[in-house]
Structure formats: structure tokens, C-alpha cells
Amino acid sequence: MAADDDLPDSFEPASNVPPRPEPHDPAPQFPKGDLRLASVIAIITGAIVIAWHIFLVSVSAIADLDQFLWIQIAVWVLALISLVTGILSLNARMARELAAAGFIAGVAAALLSISIGLYSLGDFLS
């Protein structure tokens, strides 16, 4: 029990510890590995692509979609952007949950564009 008496009380503030020196350089505005913007872009563009393909599948049975060719091309570009930014977000060191969501959105957008988008391309060309 005598050895415990020599230890400091954990509830008392440490008065004999000197403060750490403040850094002279300001913190970087975007730390290394901060790819939140890429993840957000992947999620937003992926959501647009997924919403377009849901719309395309739901109205294709009742509507003639020949006038949507330019929109479909724009959706393929958005799917490519979503896939690239989703892959870039895999290198994130910060906000990893957001990066994972961005990657999933990018892959989902790319897979939907390949499956449904190429089928709709065949409809446009015929």
C-alpha cells in the first residue's frame, strides 16, 4: 500500500507538466487524404444516374424514349464521373464512411449504366 501513496491522484490536474509549444505553421486547409469532395461528387452523380435508370425502366413500357438520347449520353458521362470519383475516394484517410458510400455509389452507377444503359442504347439505335 505504500507504493500507491507515491502515485499522483488521477482526479487532480497536473500542475507540474509544462504546456506543449504551439505550432507556428497554420494547419493545411485540406489535410492529406481528405477526399470528402470526391466522395460527395460520387454520391450525388451516382444518385442522379440511379434515379435516371429507375425512371427509364419505369416509363419505357408506356413511352417512346427517342427524345431522351442526349439525356442518356449525359447520364453515361455522370456515371463515368461517379465511378472515377468513387475509385478516387478509396484513397481517403479521413471520413472513410463517406468514402465507402462514394465508392458504392460510383460502382452502382457504373453497373446500372452498363446493364440498363447499353440496353437503352440498343433501343435508341433501332
pLDDT tens track of the chain, all 126 residues? Answer: 556 666 666 666 666 777 777 777 776 666 666 778 888 999 999 999 888 888 877 776 666 655 677 877 888 899 899 999 888 888 877 778 888 888 899 999 888 888 876 766 666 666
Report how many domains make up the chain.
1
Residue 53, domain member (yes or no): yes
Q: What is the pLDDT of residue 66?
A: 56
Give me the pLDDT at residue 31, please. Answer: 66
**Of 40, 49, 53, the residue nearest 98 (C-alpha):** 40
Distances (CA, A) of 96 to 63, 68, 103, 104: 41, 36, 10, 12
Q: Which residue has the cell 458521362?
A: 77
Q: Give domain status of residue 98, yes or no.
A: yes
Rounded Cα–Cα distance for residues 28 and 11 (Å)? 35
Q: Residue 52 sits in which domain range?
A: 33-125
Tell me if 106 is assigned to some domain: yes
Tell me how many helices (H) and strands (E) the chain has: 5, 0
Q: How far is CA 74 from CA 9, 48, 54, 88, in A?
A: 66, 11, 16, 21
